[in-house]
Amino acid sequence: MALINRNFRTGLLTVIAAFMLAIMPLPDWAVKFRPDWVTLVMIYWAMTIPDRIGVISAWLAGLMLDVSYGTLLGQQAAGLVIVIYVIHMQHQRLRAASLIQQAIVIFFLLLIKQLLVLWVDGILGRAPDIWYYFMPTITSTLLWPWLYLILRDLHRKFGRIPAYS
């Protein structure tokens, strides 16, 4: 139990850090390239501790994202739930995959999430310029291998990976 709690606490702290990175002010040119920090961190935890982090935590995180971004409540949450659902279902396969393969899967998942958010924006009649809209997807994908290694180290140091993984 203590182990699970420690895992969960580490997870919570990294998600909070991801939120801070997500709202940190960046120069104008860089804003368009901001990686989707919260989704990436949630993906990592859904992959490594699927018994603790699942679709419900993803939904709550998504709602917080909606509040911080000023999007409709549920807009980011729905996308995040779908991404985490796929990760949750495939976590054993993904864990065995190489970092590059993981990154490719994540690329497509993030693409789906962005499309869902864009779709809702389109319905509301405020779809933005398309050319840079998918930049975060690309930067997030490129960032994944590094983020994975950092989170794994943090996880080992503060949370310890359970024996079964």
Partner 1 sequence: MQSIFSQGPSASARMIILVLASLALMTVDHRWHQLEVVRSALSTLLYPLQYTVDLPIRFYYWGEEVFSTRQTLLKKNREYETRYLENRVQLQKLDILQRENARLRQLLGATPETAERLLIAEIIKVDVDPNRQLIVLNKGSHNDIYVGQPVIDAQGVMGQVIHVGPLSSTAILITDISHAIPVQVDRNGLRAIAFGSGNINELELRNLPHNTDIRVGDTLVTSGLGNHFPANYPVATVTSVKRLPGELFARISAKPLALLDQGREVLLLWNNKADNPLAAGESPKTDGQTKIGTPADKDKPKSATDKQPSKQASKQKSEQ
Binding site for partner 1 (CB under 8 A): 3-4, 16, 19-20, 22-26, 28, 31-32, 34, 51, 54-56, 59, 62-64, 67-75, 77-78, 81-82, 85, 88-89, 120-121, 124-126, 128-129, 133, 162, 164
Shortest gap between Cβ of 148 and partner 1 (angstroms)? 22
Q: Kindly report the number of other CB atoms within 10 A of residue 97's CB atom.
A: 13
**CB-CB contact of 152 with 146 (8 Å):** no
Cβ closest to partner 1, residue 105 vs residue 120: 120
CA distance 165 to 14: 20
Give the alpha-carbon dihedral of 162, 54, 99, 155, to 10 degrees. Answer: -40
Query: Which is nearest to 105 in space by CA: 117, 119, 89?
Result: 89
Cβ closest to partner 1, residue 68 vs residue 101: 68
Element at 113 (helix H, strand E): helix 99-124
Shortest gap between Cβ of 4 and partner 1 (angstroms)? 7
Region of residue 70 (left: phi > 0; alpha: psi -120 to 50; beta: else): left
Cβ closest to partner 1, residue 55 vs residue 145: 55
Shortest gap between Cβ of 102 and partner 1 (angstroms)? 20
Cβ closest to partner 1, residue 1 vs residue 100: 1
Shortest gap between Cβ of 54 and partner 1 (angstroms)? 6
